[in-house]
Amino acid sequence: MFHFRGPSHIGDRLVLKAIVNNAFKHSMEVGVCAEAYQGGEPLRHINSAFMTFEVLDSDRKPSTLPRIRPEPVDGKRRYQEAVARKKIRLDRDPYLIALRSVTLPTHPPTEDYTRGEVLCAGFTIWEESSTVTKITYYNQATPGVLPYISTDIAGLSSSFYSAFSACSHFLEVNKDTLAALPPSAL
């Protein structure tokens, strides 16, 4: 989970702070706070991220983690929020991955290059059954990108097909190895 609270700007210095919020049986949630500043100005909280890490032993099997004792007040709050986020993740059907490009006024288009912008793009990953996962790609771009897509739609789709085909081939070749891993490690 990522929570974008504000932008960073060119020239900002970033301060990243990480802390283990909670340890579960085989995984832990790590919270990261990103703050930015320039010169002598105060820190601005620009991003919070919550990541889950599974800990594996030397045989790539889940390790049992020791229980943690949260610190009073903020530590206890982070501990309880991590439990809630884990429940949200476990209850989730599809996974959504979204992105967009940005334009910078300090780097305007040049004559030698045509520039387009991805307004919104991403993937949805949906488990159809225990053996089939449906991945759908979405892309919304500015009109400047359209000529490149419309003149070579077969090339674009064959590029995606090649990437997904390679992933599928890898999974088939390694299915026995991957089957031994717990689902959360994949």
Residues in Cβ contact with 48 at an 8 Å cutoff, skipping those fewer than 6 apart: 2, 3, 5, 31, 32, 33, 34
Residues 37, 9 contacting (CB under 8 angstroms): no
Q: Is the pTM of this model over 0.75?
A: no
pLDDT in tens, 35-44: 999 988 999 9
Backbone angles phi, psi at 162, to 5 degrees: -60, -45
CA gap 47, 3 in Å, rounded: 6
pLDDT in tens, 69-90: 999 999 999 999 999 988 877 7
CATH hierarchy code of domain 2-92: 3.10.129.10
Average pLDDT, stretch 159-184? 68
Residues 64, 25 contacting (CB under 8 angstroms): yes
pLDDT surpassing 50 at residue 110: yes
CATH topology of domain 95-185: Alpha-D-Glucose-1,6-Bisphosphate; Chain A, domain 4 (3.30.530)
pLDDT surpassing 90 at residue 138: no
